Amino acid sequence: MSNSIEGKTAIVTGAANGVGLAIARHFVEQGANVMFADRDEERLNAEVGDAQVEDGARLRYFAGDLRERLTVANLLSATIDAYERVDILVNASRQILVTDPLDPEDKSVATLLEQNLMTALRLSQAVAKRMIHQAEVDEQTEGMVGSIVNISSIAGRRTQPELLAYSISAAALDQATRSLAVSLAHERIRVNGVGVGSVMSANLQTRLGEAEGLRKAIVDATPMGRIAAPSELAETVQFLASEASGFMTGQILTVDGGRTLIDPVVEPVH
């Protein structure tokens, strides 16, 4: 099976910076048409604003808050208007908040379930319906008709008290990935995920500047002894999006430099 995504159309969320931006850029380099989606319109414009107006451009951007149902519908419409179809969805938008696990007024669990789970779930449902419609219209379609990839975290399996909300949302997204995979398999849509360790995202860059010694703690807890670059996840996501993984669905691939293989005394925030 081919690892190629050339000519496919993909939506990538969280594409204004970090992991999402790296994945979206990589997909463009691999010949895909890509809709960069994020709330941060200023950053999106800075990253891809000029490129999207070039003749034959394979990239566009869409700015909006995907927690709003209408925004989800508008993103899908903008993608169809630009490229007439959608073949791949990468839910890479993530938020991390610190939780006080003993504070009953702490709203971080509800906030991150809405941001990290429900946004991905609603967009997956909308995109899956479009993929099914495309297959019905094009009766000659063979093989898989679409692929969805959710970017999650090893925090769904390992956690700290202050990451309670983030861990719950990551675990919920992993289970949504498995459930959607079973639900959509008969429609020939595959759903997989990537559970990442410490990646040099915008969130982590901020944390490294705030917490003294955090970089060393992360490196010491990672057998490969470093923090991953966002671009290192892009090849894994391409594999899951392509026919190279054609018989895989409902799987969460771990990309963490071996961090979940050891049991450190103190698990660093990532």
Helix (H) or strand (E) holding 138: none
Concatenated DSSP letters of 160-203: -GGGHHHHHHHHHHHHHHHHHHHHHGGGTEEEEEEEE-SB--HH
- The pLDDT score that the predictor gives to residue 207 is 75
- The pLDDT score that the predictor gives to residue 108 is 96
What is the distance between the alpha carbons of residues 106 and 87, in angstroms, rounded to a whole number?
39
pLDDT at residue 141 is higher than 80: no
Query: What's the pLDDT tens digit per position in 208-256?
Result: 877 778 888 889 989 999 999 988 999 999 999 999 999 999 999 999 9
pLDDT at residue 267 is higher than 80: no
- The pLDDT score that the predictor gives to residue 48 is 87
User: Which of 76-90, 103-117, 196-210 shows the lowest mean pLDDT across its residues?
Assistant: 196-210
Q: What is the mean pLDDT of the chain?
A: 91
- The pLDDT score that the predictor gives to residue 217 is 87
User: Which of 1-5, 30-34, 251-255 shows the lowest mean pLDDT across its residues?
Assistant: 1-5
- The pLDDT score that the predictor gives to residue 268 is 47
- 252 forms beta bridges with 193
| Domains of the chain, CATH where assigned | 9-261 (3.40.50.720)
Question: What is the gyration radius of the CA atoms in the chain, in angstroms?
Answer: 18
Query: What's the pLDDT tens digit per position in 44-89?
Result: 999 987 776 565 668 999 999 999 999 999 999 999 999 999 999 9
Confidence of residue 177 (pLDDT cuts 50, 70, 90): very high
The identity of residue 144, as a single letter, is: M
Q: What are phi and psi of 14, to 5 degrees?
A: 65, 30
| Mean pLDDT across 23-50 | 94
